[in-house]
Amino acid sequence: MAPTIAFRLARNAVLGLLILGLGTWAGLGVKGAFARARETEALAAVDAREPRALLKVRAWEQARLERGPMPIKQAMADMAARGRTGADPGLSPVRSNDVAPLQGWAMRPHDVAPWMLAEDAGAVGAGAPDASE
């Protein structure tokens, strides 16, 4: 028995949609491949550029570190040998009362608990030499 006209029309419609879908898929895949290749070339060109401004800033910073009142290598050697004894009080570690990062945090939406606050600055720095002397 021969297929009916309705069956042939349905079969042709399904085959047409299948061919259209495969053609679209293949076309978009090729277009995407070309886009990826173009993007890769563009990124390689950006990576190949020399960051002149950054290199200039780094050279300037290195020159300042080496030609200062005390070269950085000597300062690091002194810190390694002596530690912080006799150093500027600005170099000593001090606890901070800054709790701004904790306030408003999603896991702690309310005020910070008192036990999280640093002690008084007078109590913390009791053994430290006074900077005004």
**Helix (H, G, I), strand (E, B), or coil: what is residue 53?**
helix
Distance between CA atoms of residues 55 and 59, nearest Å? 6
Distance between CA atoms of residues 75 and 78, nearest Å? 5
- The pTM assigned to this predicted structure is 0.36
Number of H helices, E strands in the chain: 4, 0
Quick: pLDDT tens for 29-58: 888 888 999 999 999 988 888 888 999 999
pLDDT tens, the chain, 133 aa long: 677 888 889 999 999 999 999 999 998 888 888 899 999 999 998 888 888 899 999 999 999 999 888 899 998 898 888 877 777 777 777 777 776 676 666 665 566 666 666 565 555 444 444 444 3
Amino acid at 40: T
Distance between CA atoms of residues 54 and 50, nearest Å? 9
| Residue among 78, 92, 95 nearest 131 (CA) | 92
Q: Angle, to 10 degrees, between the axis of helix 52-66 and the axis of helix 72-82?
A: 60
